[in-house]
Amino acid sequence: MAAVTGPEIERLIQLLARVPGLGPRSARRAALHLVKKREALLKPLADAMQIAHERIITCTTCGNIDTQNPCTLCGDPRRDDSLIVVVADVADLWALERAQVTTGRYHVLGGVLSALDGVGPKDLAIESLIQRIATGTIREVILALNATVDGQTTAHYITELLSTYTLTVTRLAHGVPVGGELDYLDEGTLHAAIRQRTAV
Amino acid sequence: MDWQDEGIIVGVRRHGETSAIVELLTREHGRHVGLVRGGRSKRMQPLLQMGNEVVTEWRARIEDHLGEYRLEAKTMRAAHIINQSSALFALGHMCGLIRLLPEREPHHGLFDVMQIVLDKLSDSQLAAPLVIRFEQHILTELGFGLDLTECALTGAREDLAYVSPKTGRAVTRAAAAPWLDKVLPLPAFLIQNDQPFLMPDQQSIIDGFALTGHFLERHVYGPRGQEEPETRRSFIASILKRNQTATP
């Protein structure tokens, strides 16, 4: 079939189709929408992306992404210096910040240990975490990692590494989510919930 | 093409936004990979964890195709061991070993062996000898099995105490005497097939891991340009530490 549009628009569609959540059809719709709203949307979006490309950097302290180094969170004096929340990815950091559940500092590992994907300890920011802890100001490390086999293997690995330091290592609870109905939960989650039940 | 089988999940990989590519060790069809549509959904994610056991139906238009799995939970093992470091390290290590096997080749008996070992991973006393046995089994499946039935030099079947690091064959204490600096100690629990199982001591566990570790390095990791996996190292360290604290 002959191309309906020129190569420039086709390239735009192809690039948009690589964005998570967009397939070829939705990318085509998004491209058409951008072209139609050229001044109101396409131009500002292109400018914003250009600026993001130029200015966004990775924080050398925690691994978060920001336009400054140290990042806004590392530079915030109101945050608790004695607490580090370890997350696998920047998306997890954002999720915790959205929920406003902790005032501690963060440390982004950049993934989890995975033999299948060939991710070993050297591929993660574990060494820099140890260096931060070795300063002696940290009292607690919260391992906010996914409740998956890979996530918890990483958590146990870090826990073993930190066993020589005088600090408390905690991890997130596993169990029934808010709004969860027991009837619909898998037996693994129910098992974890019963095992980690708390006194009321 | 379609078949039904039982399987243990040994690997899960994201595929696109919603699906997952799942690797199973099946009872009849060996290591087998397939697509699970909706595998990244909240409903499927607890099931698609390494170590979980499933009943599976595989379908493909042509046998060579990746095909699609339909999975149903049988044993949700991952949730039971997720809090135990040594069990998780062992699970990761065992799944890594399974992934070394060629795809779609039946390995009769391996499914049952893995099932037994996974069920005992929470038992800190039994886990180590069983994982060593599992490593020995994998070496056999890969064509590098250890011959621990008789002495490579004399043919004797009694007092086997060492293994040749080159051939993987057992050697008696007397025959190994001139090469004690070269041969590998053979822990007794690896040859007591017809006798009641005696719980090995700490030194036997260390010797067992050294023995299988040597041949894994020589025949498996080395030729593939790989290092000993971190999960194996962590499992050994964790289990030895736990046994040390348990011993008064």
Domain containing residue B36: CATH number: 2.40.50.140
The CATH number linked to A145 is 3.40.1360.10
Domain count, chain A: 2
B154 within a domain of the structure (yes/no): no
Q: Count of CB contacts below 8 A, A vs B?
A: 81
pLDDT in tens, chain A (200 residues): 556 778 889 999 999 999 988 888 999 999 999 999 999 999 999 999 999 999 999 999 999 999 999 999 999 999 999 999 999 999 999 999 999 999 999 999 999 998 888 889 999 999 999 999 999 899 999 999 999 999 999 999 999 999 999 999 999 998 898 888 899 888 878 888 898 898 98
Q: Is B87 on the interface with A (CB under 8 A)?
A: no
Pairwise CB contact (< 8 Å): B92 & A117: no
Is the domain of B118 the same as that of B219?
A: yes
Per-residue model confidence (pLDDT) at position B237: 93
> Residue A26 belongs to a domain with what CATH number?
1.10.8.420
**A120, A152, A186 member nearest B88 (Cβ):** A152
Residue A137 belongs to a domain: yes
Report the C-alpha gap between B243 and B234 in whole angstroms.
Answer: 14
Do the domain assignments include residue A190?
no
Nearest residue on chain A to B16, judged by CA atoms?
Answer: A20
On chain B, the residues whose CB falls within 8 A of the CB of A187 are 73, 76, 79
A24 CA: distance to closest CA in chain B (Å): 13
B64-70: long-range pairs with CB below 8 Å, 24+: B65/B1, B66/B21, B66/B33, B66/B34, B66/B35, B67/B1, B67/B34, B67/B35, B68/B34, B68/B35, B68/B36, B68/B37, B69/B22, B69/B24, B69/B34, B69/B35, B69/B36
With beta carbons under 8 A apart, name residues in chain B contacting A27.
none
Do residues A154 and A145 make contact, with C-beta atoms less than 8 angstroms apart?
A: yes
Q: What is the pLDDT of residue A1?
A: 53
ipTM value:
0.85
What are the backbone dihedrals phi and psi of residue B99, each rounded to the nearest 5 degrees, phi first?
Answer: -70, -10
In a domain, residue B209? The reply is yes
Express each pLDDT in B7-49 by its tens digit. Answer: 999 999 999 888 999 999 999 999 999 999 999 998 898 899 9
Question: Per the domain annotation, does B61 fall within a domain?
Answer: yes
Cβ within 8 Å, pair A149-B45: no
Q: How confident is the model at residue B203 (pLDDT cuts 50, 70, 90)?
A: very high
Residue B170 covered by a domain: no
Give the count of domains, chain B. 2
Maximum Cα interatomic distance, chain B, rounded to a whole number of Å:
63
Say yes or no: A112 and A130 in one domain.
yes
Q: Percent of chain B at pLDDT above 70?
A: 96
Contacts of B80 in chain A (CB under 8 A): 188, 191
Q: How confident is the model at residue B248 (pLDDT cuts 50, 70, 90)?
A: low
Residue A18 lies in a domain: yes
Q: What is the mean pLDDT of residues B95-121?
A: 93
Per the structure, the complete domain to which residue A120 belongs is given by 65-171
Q: Are residues B34 and B130 in the same domain?
A: no
Q: Within a domain: residue B179?
A: no
> By C-alpha distance, which of B219, B185, B180 is closest to B205?
B185
CA distance A75 to chain B (A): 35
Hey, are the CB atoms on A157 and B50 less than 8 Å from each other?
no
Per the CB < 8 Å rule, is B85 touching A192?
no
Q: Same domain for A167 and A96? A: yes
Q: Are residues B22 and B103 in the same domain?
A: no
Same domain, A46 and A136: no
| A69 and A144 assigned to the same domain | yes
Q: Do B79 and A189 touch (CB under 8 A)?
A: yes
| Chain B residues lying within 8 Å of A162, measured CB to CB | none
Which range is least confidently modeled, A188-192, B101-105, B119-123? A188-192
For B130-169, the pLDDT digits (tens) are 999 999 999 999 999 999 999 988 988 888 999 999 999 9
Structure tokens at B17: 């936004």
Q: Are residues A83 and A161 in the same domain?
A: yes
Q: What's residue B88's pLDDT?
A: 94
Tell me if B54 is assigned to some domain. yes
- Among B45, B52, B88, select the one facing A153 at the smallest CB separation: B88
pLDDT at residue B73 tops 60:
yes
> Mean pLDDT across chain B, nearest whole number?
91
Tell me, yes or no, whether A89 and A164 share the same domain: yes
- Whether B172 is covered by a domain: the verdict is no
Residue A70, preceding peptide bond in cis (omega within 30° of 0):
yes
Q: pTM of the full predicted structure? A: 0.87
Mean pLDDT confidence for B56-83? 92
Residue A199 lies in a domain: no
DSSP class of residue B216? H
Nearest-CA distance B95 → chain A (Å) = 9
pLDDT at B194: 66
What is the domain extent for residue B124?
84-148+186-246
Domain co-membership, B125 together with B68: no
Let me know if residue A177 belongs to a domain.
no
Same-domain check for residues A69 and A164: yes
